[in-house]
Amino acid sequence: MESVQKMLEFVLGKLKMVGAVFLFGMALLTCADVIGRLFKYPIFGSVELVSFMGGIAIACSLPFTHHEQGHIGVELFIRKFSTNMKNWIGLCTETMSLVLFVLVAWRMFVYAEKMMESGELSMNLQLPEYIIIYILAGGFLIFVLTIINSMLKTILKLIK
């Protein structure tokens, strides 16, 4: 269990870096495009590239954010509950999240496969969209593993 935890943390750290690089790339490309537009030379396909990079940045940062419990949560009522009850509520929430993101990851893999078979390309740059969809699906798959890891930690807290 300890080695799996360390491996997951290693992968999450690398994904965080990839997400940060794509986020920086989005900012850089957007700035370059805006400056280019001032001189009547916009960057062709910049909107398409920024949207692809945004999706990849989200898919790469979501698992790390969940691992670090960095999501916004409403705790007005839960704050009053006991630690045990908070753990049970957390386990229920994580279970629902797990079901949702297993379905999302699975359907994204199916969608990417269909896009690959059809040979559909992006509108302006004619890039194969299925590659981006596979990357997103992989990010969601790692997110599923992160949720499972979080659930196991919660279960261990409840057993103690």
Q: Is the pLDDT of residue 71 over 90?
A: no
Task: Provide the pLDDT for residue 106.
Answer: 98
Q: How far apart are CA 136 and CA 60, in angstroms?
A: 8
Q: Is the pLDDT of residue 148 over 90?
A: yes
68 burial (CB, 10 Å; 0-12 / 13-18 / 19+) is: exposed
* Long-range contacts of the stretch 83-88 (C-beta < 8 A, 24+): 84/158, 87/154, 87/157, 87/158, 88/158
Q: Is the pLDDT of residue 9 over 80?
A: yes
Radius of gyration for the alpha carbons in the chain, expressed in angstroms and rounded: 19
pTM to 2 decimals?
0.89
20 burial (CB, 10 Å; 0-12 / 13-18 / 19+) is: middle
List pLDDT tens digits, range 125-143. Answer: 999 999 999 999 999 999 9
Task: Provide the pLDDT for residue 5.
Answer: 86
Task: Provide the pLDDT for residue 70.
Answer: 82
| Higher per-residue confidence, 160 vs 114 | 114
Q: Is the pLDDT of residue 4 over 90?
A: no
